[in-house]
Structure 1
Amino acid sequence: MELLTYTIKEEKGRIDKVLTDVFSQFSRSQIQSWLKNDRVTVNGDITRANYKVKSGDSIEIDRPEPVVIEAKAQDIPLDIIYEDDEVMVINKPQGMVVHPSAGHPDGTLVNALMNHSDHLSTINDVIRPGIVHRIDKDTSGLLMVAKNNDAHLFLADQLKEKKALRKYVALVHGVIPHEKGTITAPIGRSKENRQKQAVVKDGKPAVTHFTVLERFEEFTLVECQLETGRTHQIRVHMDFIGFPIAGDPLYGPKKTLKGNGQFLHAQTLGFVHPKTEGLLTFTSDIPEVFKETLENLRQNH
């Protein structure tokens, strides 16, 4: 166990929100769990999430030991678009998490990759072998995977230098009036909801280019090209300009179209090969539920 202590100075409001701001290394859900399980005391008394803190309050958190997460090989099917001794390109299905975490200890892309190959880069850490970049659980599409550390560094450098090609197809709410646009707005963690990212003044630079592909009565199909790769970047940027991605449980209106999460697909991936230095470009079809939704919109339109 680890004992965390803090004395309230000028902070005001609910204790769960205050502690999330004070101990920013922990998520709000973690802190709420500790409150629920009687691990937080104020002036020696167990408290609850809705307690309003007062100046001088002495807070103690009896933090449990963190759970050690291990990535283990699991026999999970992989949609392999390309593979050689250096790299793999995987078409990740919607609903699959990229690597293990506290909330998703197994059943991830990493578990499947470890079952498929003994040769994966080890640069990131033990729970992310081979993973050069990520896409969200409910975003489908193409990912590059490194099979050794030299390849990993080579690919990661292309992402850092904005030389890799990453194009997504997204269905968004609203009818975008112009054909093309570029969103340049810094992204960081939301001050109101720690599960979300947001456009914030002190965020990291983020640039998304978009092109309208098709318009419907209440929706627009767009192609988005990433210049940077911030967490939830396309989802945050499209919401920021007033056209949130359909089906997005965090940033969009609730239950507007039947699906399994946001209608966002990483369709095109291009990079220079680590060994041959030739340019490789790959594309993948949108998922069936995405296709069916577009057909329904076309018929209604």
Structure 2
Amino acid sequence: MKRILAYNITEEYDGSTIQKFLKAHSYSAQIIRRLKETKEGITKNGIWARVGEPLCSGDVLSLTLVEKASSENIVPSPLPLSIVYEDEDLMIVNKAADMPIHPSQGNYDNTLANACAYYYQQKGGPFVYRCINRLDRDTTGLLILAKNMYSASLLSGMCADRKIHRQYVALAQGLTPGSGTITAPIARAPGSTIERMVDFSTGEYACTHFRRLAYKNGYSLISLELDTGRTHQIRVHMKHIGHPLPGDFLYNPDYTIIGRQALHSWRLSFQHPITGIPLCFTASLPDDMAYIGQDSLQQYLPAGL
């Protein structure tokens, strides 16, 4: 994989060193070191340059990021991979249910990482797996993958700074309030490595905003946004207020209408980390969430999204 980034130097950076310019554009020490180790990784006006050299207005600074090795221990597997968007810096995928994000014990070749490794193997290029946001195994919907170390660094920072806006939709049992905010702290359940619970003594702050979009046949279709990203936050919070998600094996194992937790990451919006262009992506409700009885729920998602 080779990514070339070119900058036309403006008066703002007239007299600044290349090093200061790179730091101002959020190039980490690790990335700068990689650029220095790459043949012609840093050039000024087409000529190899050291990071201590000064820049002048009108200069063209070119940076070449090269990655030749793929992620280790990720076996390429011909699994379904729904790509919503792809460019030189990132890829948006619509993850299916029953697909973990990372390989782990018992999940060696059935993950999103394996599907991506196969995709890039077919393209004949190296593959480094960099998943920016997280979804549980049985939660469907949109995920961001970074395609180079620079975009990964920028996107991770954007995620930490809450500059990547995520909206979820879920089915919840019963008639929820029209809208609300849940701020119950979340902690690990005693004796479990995966289960979480509301715990006002030892839990970490967690904040979930929700809005009811529709109510059909005993279930509410709700839209959710998070101020925090605690493990199982939506699932735990909705159970806490008495409206758990159907099909949730940990918190509400009721499989009457669906065989997995009825949760879908349906909208992502953010500025492109390199170009700054606003991006917005949506993913329609998966088939197992799209209907309650004979009623289609897709129509209740906000218009234009």
- The TM-score normalised by the length of structure 1 is 0.69
* Secondary structure in structure 1 of the residue aligned to 2:292: helix
1:112 aligns with 2:115: yes
Number of corresponding residues:
221
Do the aligned residues in 2 keep the contact of 1:120 with 1:130 (CA within 8 Å)?
Answer: no
Cα deviation for residue 75 of structure 1 reads 2.1
Partner Cα separation in structure 1 for residue 259 and residue 109 of structure 2: 20
Cα deviation for residue 227 of structure 1 reads 1.8
Cα deviation for residue 192 of structure 1 reads 4.9
* Secondary structure in structure 1 of the residue aligned to 2:248: coil
* Secondary structure in structure 1 of the residue aligned to 2:244: coil
- Which of 248-257 and 192-201 deviates more? 192-201
Do the aligned residues in 1 keep the contact of 2:76 with 2:109 (CA within 8 Å)?
Answer: no
Question: Aligned residue for 1:151?
Answer: 151
- Which of 271-280 and 78-87 deviates more? 271-280
Question: Aligned residue for 2:78?
Answer: 75
Cα deviation for residue 253 of structure 1 reads 4.2
Structure 1 consecutive aligned stretches of length 4 or more whose deviation exceeds 2 Å: 117-121, 192-195, 200-205, 253-256, 292-298
Alignment of 1:92-111 (within 5 A): 92-111=95-114
Do the aligned residues in 1 keep the contact of 2:78 with 2:118 (CA within 8 Å)?
Answer: yes
Cα deviation for residue 241 of structure 1 reads 1.1
1:203 aligns with 2:203: yes
* Secondary structure in structure 2 of the residue aligned to 1:111: helix
Do the aligned residues in 2 keep the contact of 1:170 with 1:221 (CA within 8 Å)?
Answer: yes
1:256 aligns with 2:260: no
Partner Cα separation in structure 2 for residue 269 and residue 139 of structure 1: 15
Question: Aligned residue for 1:234?
Answer: 234
Alignment of 1:256-275 (within 5 A): 256-257=256-257, 259-275=258-274
Percentage identity across aligned positions?
A: 39
Partner Cα separation in structure 2 for residue 294 and residue 142 of structure 1: 26
AA matched with 1:93: A
Q: Deviations over 1:243-291 (max 9, x none)?
A: 101111111142332x230111110011221110122110010111211
- The RMSD of aligned alpha carbons is 1.9
Cα deviation for residue 296 of structure 1 reads 4.9
Do the aligned residues in 2 keep the contact of 1:119 with 1:148 (CA within 8 Å)?
Answer: no
1:175 aligns with 2:175: yes
Cα deviation for residue 297 of structure 1 reads 8.6
Do the aligned residues in 2 keep the contact of 1:138 with 1:260 (CA within 8 Å)?
Answer: no
Q: Deviations over 1:174-210 (max 9, x none)?
A: 111x321111122221125433111223233221110
Q: Deviations over 1:65-115 (max 9, x none)?
A: xxxx92112222310000001000000011111110002111110011112
Question: Aligned residue for 1:281?
Answer: 280
Q: Deviations over 1:16-74 (max 9, x none)?
A: xxxxxxxxxxxxxxxxxxxxxxxxxxxxxxxxxxxxxxxxxxxxxxxxxxxxx921122
* Secondary structure in structure 2 of the residue aligned to 1:153: helix
Cα deviation for residue 218 of structure 1 reads 2.0
Do the aligned residues in 1 keep the contact of 2:187 with 2:202 (CA within 8 Å)?
Answer: yes
Cα deviation for residue 295 of structure 1 reads 3.2
Question: Aligned residue for 2:18?
Answer: none
* Secondary structure in structure 2 of the residue aligned to 1:116: helix
Alignment of 1:6-155 (within 5 A): 70-117=73-120, 118=125, 120-121=127-128, 129-155=129-155
Going from structure 1 to structure 2, the CA distance change for 1:290 and 1:217 (only over 3 Å counts) comes to: closer
Structure 2: 5+ residue stretches without partners: 1-71, 298-305
